Amino acid sequence: MTKYTSDSSNFGADGPFFRIIREGLEGLVDGEDYFDLLTDDVVFEYVISVPGYPRRVEGRQNIIDLYSGYGDFMTVHSADNLRFYRDPEASVVVLEYEVHGESVQTGRPYNNRFVSIITVKDRKVTYWRDYLDPIAVFDAAGWPDTSPEQSRPGPPV
């Protein structure tokens, strides 16, 4: 097992996101942190997400790179309301959970719900399909900006 991030990060051993995922996958996977749960060639699909976010990412290192700036955007304080459904024959787990925190840039609250469909092989995650509520991300980020400055017309192009 290898640690890929500090224990106190969102994805580290003490982070609320990793704790809720570890609880949902208990007894099925091994890993020191979130990224250690993944195979080198893991595939992630983001089915419902936000504009500009990749729809598909292949490889653990690419997932690490994708999430490397997450702490600059969002801080997760807690994760809860876990529900999980397991199909041992197919090695598939469905996790439903919520995360709570705040936007680093706006200070606005962040409360999101997720559904993750996860395939496990040899005690590692090989495939992850994610669904989230993009409106929760927009609300935390303050998008669209409805401030008076934003509503004024810009200079002609």
User: What pLDDT shows up at residue 157?
Assistant: 37
- Mean pLDDT per 10-residue section of the chain, whose length is 157 residues: 56 76 92 89 93 93 87 89 93 96 94 96 96 93 68 38
pLDDT value of position 18: 85
Domain ranges within the chain, ordered by starting residue = 16-141
- What per-residue confidence (pLDDT) applies to 134? 92
Phi-psi region of 27 (alpha: psi -120 to 50; beta: other; left: phi over 0): left
| Residues whose CB is less than 8 angstroms from the CB of residue 30 and which lie 6 or more positions away in sequence, other chains included | 1, 36, 37, 123, 124
pTM over cut 0.85: no
| CATH class (in words) of the domain with range 16-141 | alpha beta
